[in-house]
Amino acid sequence: MTAADRPVAGVIGWPVAHSLSPRLHRFWLDRAGIDGFYVPLPVAPGHVAAALAGLPALGLRGVNVTVPHKQAVFDALDRVTPVARRAGAVNTVTVAEDGTLEGTNTDVAGFLGHLRQAAPVWRADAAPAVILGAGGAARAAAVALLDAGVARLVVVNRTVARAEALALALGDPRVAVAPWEGLAGALDGAGLLVNTTSLGMAGQPPLTPDLAPLAADAVVYDIVYVPLETPLLAAARARGLATVDGLGMLIHQGVPAFRAFFGAEAAADAATRAHLLAAL
């Protein structure tokens, strides 16, 4: 490999300094013995198209896309994969040999990959699933759960109109909507509760629903990872329920991105997790 061949990828966001992706990919690059780079790229709103158009000329292999650009990038791409269309968001852009740009979404696979690894007993078709929230993270989780084969999925959101819009966009008869006050009813017999809201995040109010109505073998998944154990997960653990935290989703979504950028396999394993935890 010559110096010119050293692969470079990065992450665009605004702000982007807080992103754990550079630390994640640096760890995997070093472990794979790849002499490459993964850099944070601060791209202000309104500059996404110009930034992406420059990727081929800069010789980048691609970029991950984080807040607030996951929707804005669509218009700047040559191709978008079906999963990204369904998720309504692109989190990974790759530069093809001919310089064209393809967008995909690895959050969907990351969400499910982490769930399967952290709670192997969970069965998609055993009981209904409940998602709290109706933003971009909720949509990625919903696409993942529908693809996994859930028989029923209830989306509960403070602003019920947003949950209805999400259900409409998903266009799947298995999806139902409930208002925030309907949460207890939605949890009755549910086998999976997923929090995609910001509640429970450091500096935000906690999320403390009564978990008693959940099925005895239910799994509680919080995509918040600061703190790693949210009040919701602590309450679930206290009830003896299986819990899934948000850090693993970040790691799992990175695996296909690393493959696309650097042509090598990365493992979402304990060493990777420990490396990220040291930075939290």
Please say which residue, 117 or 198, places its beta carbon nearer to ligand ATR: 198
Query: Least distance to ligand ATR from the beta carbon of 71, Å?
Result: 9
Please say which residue, 130 or 138, places its beta carbon nearer to ligand ATR: 138
Measured CA to CA in angstroms, residue 98 lies from 79, 84, 121, 240 at distances of 13, 21, 44, 53
Query: Least distance to ligand ATR from the beta carbon of 91, Å?
Result: 11
Residue type, 229: E
Task: Give the three-class secondary structure for 103.
Answer: strand
Quote the longest CA-to-CA distance of the chain: 61
Please say which residue, 150 or 156, places its beta carbon nearer to ligand ATR: 156
Burial track 116-137 (b if 16+ CB lie within 10 A, e otherwise): eebbeebebeebbbbbbbbebb
Is 22 a catalytic site residue? no
Query: Least distance to ligand ATR from the beta carbon of 140, Å?
Result: 8
Query: Least distance to ligand ATR from the beta carbon of 146, Å?
Result: 17
Helix (H) or strand (E) holding 50: helix 48-53
Alpha-carbon dihedral 236, 138, 157, 71, rounded to 10 degrees: 150
Please say which residue, 15 or 205, places its beta carbon nearer to ligand ATR: 205
Tell me the two tokens of residue 167: 């259900």
Query: Least distance to ligand ATR from the beta carbon of 227, Å?
Result: 17
- Using alpha carbons, select from 143, 133, 134, 161 the residue that is nearest to residue 104: 143
Please say which residue, 61 or 230, places its beta carbon nearer to ligand ATR: 230
Task: Choose the catalytic residue: 25, 61, 69, 70.
Answer: 70
Residues near ligand ATR (CB under 6 A): 133-138, 157-159, 162, 196-199, 205
Distance CA 122, CA 120 (A): 5
Measured CA to CA in angstroms, residue 80 lies from 168, 225, 258, 261 at distances of 21, 29, 18, 16
Tell me the two tokens of residue 163: 């949950």
Closest residue to ligand ATR, judged by C-beta, is: 135
What are the residue numbers of the active site? 70
